[in-house]
Amino acid sequence: MRRYLEAYLHWLMNECPTFDLHYNNYLIESLNLERPDKWFQIKSYCPQRTFIYHHGPTNSGKSTSAVEELKNLKHDQNGIYMAPLRLLAWEYQQKLGNCSLVTGQEKDYRNSNLVSCTIEAAPLNEEYEVAVID
């Protein structure tokens, strides 16, 4: 693709002597599919986030410690727990107390700042202070 673009721009510069060389370089960089980090310059828009990765063997308490962070949220903060299985989402809804449950089969919205859901049914149109992906 890049080779065709460069050939086209070379032809264009020969056919249109008023073609701006600075725009030429901008166009090549904009269409460079090898650098997706250059496609969108929105670094000033992106909020600062902190990611915490819990690593350990099975039954070591990784999910439990992460869900404790959800329980400690203030009432004006939102949190979400995303489970791989519907039964696990339901189990953590029971552990969290007053919590909405969203899965592919059921949607039980409550007046709460917490959501327990399956990963594919996660309501991602909201901003969350704490998100747990199990």
* Per-residue model confidence (pLDDT) at position 37: 66
* Per-residue model confidence (pLDDT) at position 89: 92
Q: Closest Cα partner for 52 from 31, 69, 34?
A: 69
Q: Closest Cα partner for 53 from 41, 43, 42, 63?
A: 63
The C-alpha atoms of residue 12 and residue 9 are separated, in whole angstroms, by: 5
DSSP-H helix ranges across 1-125: 2-15, 21-30, 62-71, 86-96
User: Hey, where are the domains in the chain?
Assistant: 2-38, 62-133
Question: What are the structure tokens assigned to 30, written together?
Answer: 């904009």
* Per-residue model confidence (pLDDT) at position 18: 64
* Per-residue model confidence (pLDDT) at position 6: 73
Mean pLDDT by 10 residues, the chain (134 residues): 70 67 63 67 61 84 85 88 92 89 90 91 87 89
Q: What is the CATH number of domain 62-133?
A: 3.40.50.300
